[in-house]
Amino acid sequence: MSIEIKRIASIYCVALLLILIPCSVYAKGRLDVQVTPKHTALKKNIEAYIDQLAEGDATSLAAVKRTVLQRARLASEALGYYQTQIVVRITEDAEPVMQVLVERGDAVRLRTVTIQVQGEAAQLPAFAIPEDKRLKVGARLDHSAYDDVKSMLQNQALRFGFFAAEFTQHELLIDPQIGTADITLLFDSGPRYRLGAVQFSEDAKIDQKLLQRLLPFTPGTPYNSALVAKLSQNLQSSGYFDEVRVDAVGSADGPLDIPVEVSLVAIKPRTLSLGLGFSTDVGPRGRFGWERHRVNSHGHKLGFDSEISQPRQNVSAWYQVPLSAPLTDYVRFSSGYQREELVDADSRLINLAVQWHARLPSEWLRVVSLRWEQETYNFGRGAKDGRSSFLMPGIDYSVLRSDSPLDPSQGYRLQWAVRGAKQDLLADADVLHVTALSRGLLTLAHKHRFLGRAQIGAIGTNEYAQVPPSLRFFAGGDQSVRGYDYQTLSPRDRQGNRVGGRYMFAGSVEYQYSVAERWRVAAFVDQGNAFNSLSDKMKTGAGFGLRWVSPVGPLRLDLARAFDEDKGWRIHFSMGPEL
């Protein structure tokens, strides 16, 4: 019986200890750093140096007191304060408090700063000595500035191919008594290495001549890590490869010509794509695509695209041949069929086309095309079908400049296109078709965004009756004049059917204000029309909306009212880039 009582007593003692021990463990210390005179940077630096040590009960704090004092002094000297007087004491009221009292004294100031780059890098304008106000004569000594400039020089050497670079002298001499410091950094870059021959892996499945056209440099070009990264980006952007690895690493021991080894894993030959969307112009829409990325070793591509929505259905097939600059220059052969239901018209169109895409040195994209179209159409239910055929050469120019592809804060888009046809040269009438578009975006003070848009179009012809709906102009809708239904702004025939105009104008000004990281409110005014006479009246719509920058692009919800029609407010929903 007595043994059992002792056993129970032991259990109670252990339980009591288990209760009391956490109480003492969780009586954590609190850190209180006081700097006189006040200096926020010094206070934060000391706290960063000793924060982990200032935990525990009074006994454990007392055990690390000397270490805390040493670290607090190091934290002060790192910022140039060598004359600090530091006292560490531990007080205990409800909980232990470690107080670090600092009299910071005068800072050590830079007396001389000598930073020189020698060797071939001295003749390279891009190899700059870093500008840092912390390294100006008279500035307070900051050890991190000294370390940073050393790292920056070494990083630049690696970037520009000076793999044998070294510091012939690197000194930081400090005299705490008189409060001065002298910095001397002499950096000898040595020779600049070059990019050598490029060797592609044998399983690339793409002709070596085509791969060579993807190179952003020629063998013997001075090394630049940006060129190595650009090569990797070009290969990835070509669409031919699933994996790309570029190895071009130099060493101080040489050779001066660095071999470039490229390992490539071919992408799967075919891919399918499926997309769903919605806008108030066309309602729900679906897209389906199929692409063969590599028809042969010469990099030819083959594809099929289709789009289905209530007013428009189309299918097309294309074959693409890369040219001298495979990423931007190519010839595309295509054919397709499209059926479109306009407000008062129905159109069925077949086409054959060849297009030459080229990126100009000015960054403009130029597309030269030759297109044959045959369109069957009618205006109004029960109307007699019309048919027209046109062989139309054309040229398009476009450019986009912005600071972000998904959500830019500033930038612009410009584009214009001219197409023409000559009667009796596989065309039913003389036609000159011109369109132009400009968009601009400006952001002020991070929150205020101003957008502008202007679109124009014109048709010159000797037989307007032969011009089919696909070449005529209609206005109204999400991307034109908000407040009006999709493509409802148009001249009418004698039966009241909207038949499209010879001319078109649509302009917009919009202001957006950021209310959260990805949310904006907007107010806008749109004006435009499609018309046959330049004296016709413009239609105006205005309203307000909400913008959300989603991971796939901006979504826009607008509420707009037409000034020239008494139809109340119209909702517009759309998605896509603002430029």
Asked, for residue 361, whether it belongs to a domain, the answer is: yes
Asked, for residue 292, whether it belongs to a domain, the answer is: no
409-432 per-position pLDDT tens digit: 999 999 999 999 999 899 999 999
Q: What is the pLDDT of residue 543?
A: 96
Domain harbouring 115, CATH code: 3.10.20.310
How many other C-beta atoms can be found within 10 angstroms of the C-beta atom of residue 197? 11
- Strand-strand pairing, 166-175 and 96-103: unpaired
Q: What is the pLDDT of residue 32?
A: 83
Residue 464 has pLDDT above 70, yes or no: yes
Asked, for residue 279, whether it belongs to a domain, the answer is: no
299-353 per-position pLDDT tens digit: 999 999 999 998 999 999 999 999 999 999 999 999 999 999 888 889 999 999 9
Clarify whether residues 118 and 142 are in a common domain. yes
Domain harbouring 570, CATH code: 2.40.160.50
Clarify whether residues 365 and 448 are in a common domain. yes
Domain hosting residue 494, numbered range: 346-575
57-85 per-position pLDDT tens digit: 778 878 888 888 888 999 999 999 999 99
Residues composing the chain: 579
How many other C-beta atoms can be found within 10 angstroms of the C-beta atom of residue 444? 10
Asked, for residue 512, whether it belongs to a domain, the answer is: yes
Clarify whether residues 431 and 562 are in a common domain. yes
On whether the CB atoms of residues 231 and 199 are closer than 8 A, the answer is: no
On whether the CB atoms of residues 109 and 140 are closer than 8 A, the answer is: yes
Asked, for residue 319, whether it belongs to a domain, the answer is: no
Angstrom CA distances, 423 to 113, 388, 430, 432, stand at 79, 11, 5, 11
Clarify whether residues 41 and 82 are in a common domain. yes
Clarify whether residues 157 and 252 are in a common domain. no
Q: What is the pLDDT of residue 382?
A: 66
Report helix, strand or coil for 403.
coil
The number of domains in the chain is 4
Nearest to 80 by CA among 115, 41, 112: 41
Q: What is the pLDDT of residue 481?
A: 95
Q: How far apart are CA 35 and CA 44, in angstroms?
A: 10
Q: What is the pLDDT of residue 175?
A: 94
Final residue before a domain boundary, out of 188, 217, 235: 188
Residue 16 has pLDDT above 70, yes or no: no
Q: What is the pLDDT of residue 196?
A: 93
Those residues whose C-beta lies under 8 Å from the C-beta of residue 325, and which sit 6 or more positions away, are 213, 358, 359
How many other C-beta atoms can be found within 10 angstroms of the C-beta atom of residue 221? 14
Clarify whether residues 74 and 179 are in a common domain. no
Banded pLDDT at 130 (limits 50, 70, 90) = confident
Clarify whether residues 364 and 503 are in a common domain. yes
Q: How far apart are CA 467 and CA 461, in angstroms?
A: 8
Q: How far apart are CA 208 and CA 210, in angstroms?
A: 5
Q: With pLDDT > 70 as the criterion, what percentage of the chain qualifies?
A: 94
Residues 262-274: what's their mean pLDDT? Answer: 91
Q: How far apart are CA 555 and CA 578, in angstroms?
A: 10
154-201 per-position pLDDT tens digit: 999 999 999 999 999 999 999 999 999 999 999 999 999 999 999 998
Clarify whether residues 211 and 123 are in a common domain. no
Clarify whether residues 405 and 534 are in a common domain. yes
Those residues whose C-beta lies under 8 Å from the C-beta of residue 228, and which sit 6 or more positions away, are 195, 246, 248, 260
Provide the 8-state DSSP code for 84.
Answer: -
Clarify whether residues 83 and 161 are in a common domain. no
Asked, for residue 336, whether it belongs to a domain, the answer is: no
Q: What is the pLDDT of residue 384?
A: 81
Asked, for residue 277, whether it belongs to a domain, the answer is: no
Clarify whether residues 365 and 460 are in a common domain. yes
Per residue, the 3-state secondary structure of 97-123, as one string, reads EEEEEEECCCCCEEEEEEEEEECHHHH
**Range of weakest confidence among 30-34, 519-523, 539-543:** 30-34
Asked, for residue 38, whether it belongs to a domain, the answer is: yes
Q: What is the pLDDT of residue 29?
A: 54
Residues 443-454: what's their mean pLDDT? Answer: 95
Banded pLDDT at 22 (limits 50, 70, 90) = very low
Final residue before a domain boundary, out of 103, 126, 156: 103
Nearest to 101 by CA among 48, 38, 56, 49: 38
Q: How far apart are CA 43 and CA 35, in angstroms?
A: 6
Final residue before a domain boundary, out of 251, 266, 281: 266
Clarify whether residues 415 and 536 are in a common domain. yes
Report helix, strand or coil for 79.
coil
